[in-house]
Each structure stands twice: as structure tokens, then as C-alpha cells.
């Protein structure tokens, strides 16, 4: 009888989608993955080509892959759509406005694409899984930064100095977080808490501009500067994180949610958050053009 690894290689070369149980997977895979997902695992491939071939059949990472792969493609096309919206609605649109929206859209595409890539190559090898996990986290940081760049831009529409100050803070914390995410020295449990704190600090860079905006511009203006959308985005993300952290529903019903579960729900809510925030920024941009007039320096 063939061993699991032998069956893996032969089945993969034959192109047959052989799916395994959690107990069949290597120890390193079991340590790093969700024990409540009992079935539907792809064999360890050792091949990028074979891992990407798994896009053609259903397994327990399919929803995780496509729930970010399809939105990544839509955001990529959406970048063109947003630019068309800006130039057609506002013929004299500033280059800085277009760049700010492009940063947000490209950041979203990068985050979603790296996530889909990670879930695709999760079954390649232990080394590849660790590399792609760091790239997945890099994508998260990039999207946080892209979101903050555009958010700060629309809040401080006529105030370049605070805009530059907050962008500088975001750049500093973002760079540190990227280093902590990618540098081999800072991997492992020893720096786990510090890595988490850097993610929180980078995300919190978005809170200070909001508070500043309420004091500087008042509630009524901030409500038109995407604040309700930002709160809706936060609600989506917090809900998603709660599913991610508790691993519900599969933790309560092992084996019942093997094809889609907490991580898939988390993915969908992340996409919802990005879409909601984009709509908010476009609404804030329309408001700024209609009601805000910046004085000449």
C-alpha cells in the first residue's frame, strides 16, 4: 500500500483531485492549521504548478481562494472604473486626487491577490507556507496603508500640513510593521506580541485623524467625510475578526463546515469592508467638490 506522500505524488501527477483528512496531513501542517476542518485537504504538492492546478476542483481552500481572487480582479477593473468616474464627473480633476484613489485600489488588489496566493500555495511545503503567510500579512499592511492614505486625503481636503504629518506617521509605523512581518529575525513566538502591537499601532494611525477631524471640522462635516462608512467598515472587520478568532461555526460543528467556515466568512467581510469604504471615499470626494473651497496658500 502506498504511503500518504507516495499517493500524493502519483495522484497529483495523474491530475486527480485526491483530498485527505486532517489526520492524514503532516505534523507541521496540523500544528499551523484549523483542526476543526476535518476533510477536504489537498495533498502536499511540492509544486507551484500543481498547487495552482487545484483552482480547477473543489477542496477546503476553494472558497478562501476565490472569495479574494474574484474581488481582486474586480478591484483591478474597478481602478479603471474609478478613474473614469473621476475624469468624467470632474474634467479638471487633479492628478493628486487620481493618485490617492489609485493607491487605495492598488492596495486592495495587492492584499486580496496575496491572500488568494497564500491559500493556493498553502499545500506546497512548510517553507512555502511560511513565506506566503508573511506575504499575506504584508498584503494586509499594504491595504491598511492604502486605506489610510486616501482617508487622510479626504478628511484634510484643504489642509496639507496635517495631511503630511499623518501620512508621515503612517509611513513610519507601516514601515516598521512591514519589517516585523518580513524579517526572519522577528518571526516566531518571541516577537508575536510585538508584531501584533505594530499592526494595532499602524491601524490606530487612522483614529487620530478622525478625532482631529471632529475637533477641526465638526460632526456635520465629518459625517460627510466618509465617517459613517468608516464605522460600517469597522463593523465588518470586527465581525470578521470575531469569526476568525473563534473559528465559529466549525469549532462548534466539526466536519460540518469543511468547504466553507470561519475563514471564508472573514474573507467575505473583509471584501465588504473594502467596498463600503470605497463608496464612502467617493461620496466624500463628491461632497468636497460640491461644498468645500480651499483658499490659495
Please check whether residue 171 is in contact with residue 205, taking contact to mean a CB–CB distance below 8 angstroms: no
How many Cβ atoms sit within 10 Å of the Cβ of residue 31? 10
Beta bridge partners of 20: 41
Please check whether residue 236 is in contact with residue 269, taking contact to mean a CB–CB distance below 8 angstroms: yes
Please check whether residue 135 is in contact with residue 118, taking contact to mean a CB–CB distance below 8 angstroms: yes
Report the C-alpha gap between 55 and 38 in whole angstroms. 20
Please check whether residue 43 is in contact with residue 8, taking contact to mean a CB–CB distance below 8 angstroms: yes
Helix 207-217 vs helix 160-182: crossing angle, to nearest 10: 170
119 is an annotated ligand-binding site residue: yes
Question: Exposed/middle/buried for 67, CB within 10 Å: 0-12, 13-18, 19+?
Answer: buried
Please check whether residue 28 is in contact with residue 126, taking contact to mean a CB–CB distance below 8 angstroms: yes
Closest to 170 measured CA to CA, from 195, 143, 135: 143
263 is an annotated ligand-binding site residue: yes
Please check whether residue 80 is in contact with residue 73, taking contact to mean a CB–CB distance below 8 angstroms: no
List the binding residues for Zn(2+): 119, 263, 267
List the binding residues: 119, 263, 267
Amino acid at each position: 500500500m502506498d504511503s500518504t506522500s507516495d499517493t500524493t505524488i502519483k495522484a497529483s501527477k495523474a491530475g486527480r483531485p485526491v483530498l485527505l483528512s486532517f489526520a492524514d496531513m503532516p505534523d507541521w501542517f496540523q500544528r499551523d492549521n484549523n483542526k476543526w476542518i476535518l476533510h477536504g485537504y489537498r495533498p502536499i504538492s511540492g509544486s507551484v504548478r500543481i498547487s495552482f492546478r487545484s483552482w480547477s476542483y473543489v477542496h477546503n481552500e476553494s472558497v478562501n481562494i476565490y472569495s479574494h481572487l474574484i474581488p481582486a480582479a474586480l478591484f483591478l477593473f474597478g481602478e479603471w472604473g474609478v478613474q473614469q468616474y473621476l475624469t468624467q464627473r470632474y474634467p479638471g480633476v487633479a492628478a493628486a486626487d487620481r493618485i490617492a484613489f489609485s493607491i487605495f485600489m492598488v492596495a486592495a488588489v495587492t492584499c486580496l491577490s496575496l491572500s488568494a496566493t497564500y491559500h493556493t500555495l498553502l499545500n506546497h511545503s512548510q517553507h512555502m507556507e511560511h513565506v506566503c503567510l508573511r506575504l499575506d500579512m504584508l498584503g494586509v499592511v499594504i491595504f491598511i496603508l492604502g486605506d489610510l492614505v486616501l482617508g487622510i486625503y479626504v478628511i484634510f481636503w484643504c489642509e496639507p500640513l496635517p495631511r503630511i504629518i499623518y501620512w508621515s506617521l503612517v509611513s513610519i509605523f507601516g514601515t516598521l510593521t512591514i519589517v516585523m512581518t518580513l524579517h526572519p529575525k522577528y518571526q516566531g513566538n518571541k516577537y508575536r506580541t510585538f508584531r501584533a502591537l505594530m499592526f494595532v499601532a499602524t491601524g490606530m494611525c487612522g483614529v487620530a485623524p478622525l478625532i482631529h477631524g471632529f475637533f477641526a471640522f465638526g460632526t456635520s462635516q465629518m459625517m460627510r467625510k466618509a465617517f459613517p462608512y468608516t464605522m460600517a467598515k469597522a463593523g465588518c472587520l470586527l465581525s470578521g475578526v470575531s469569526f476568525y478568532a473563534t473559528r465559529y461555526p466549525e469549532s462548534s460543528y466539526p466536519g460540518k463546515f469543511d468547504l466553507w467556515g470561519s475563514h471564508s466568512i472573514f474573507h467575505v467581510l473583509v471584501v465588504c469592508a473594502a467596498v463600503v469604504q470605497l463608496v464612502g471615499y467617493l461620496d466624500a470626494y463628491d461632497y468636497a467638490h460640491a461644498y468645500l473651497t480651499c483658499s490659495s496658500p
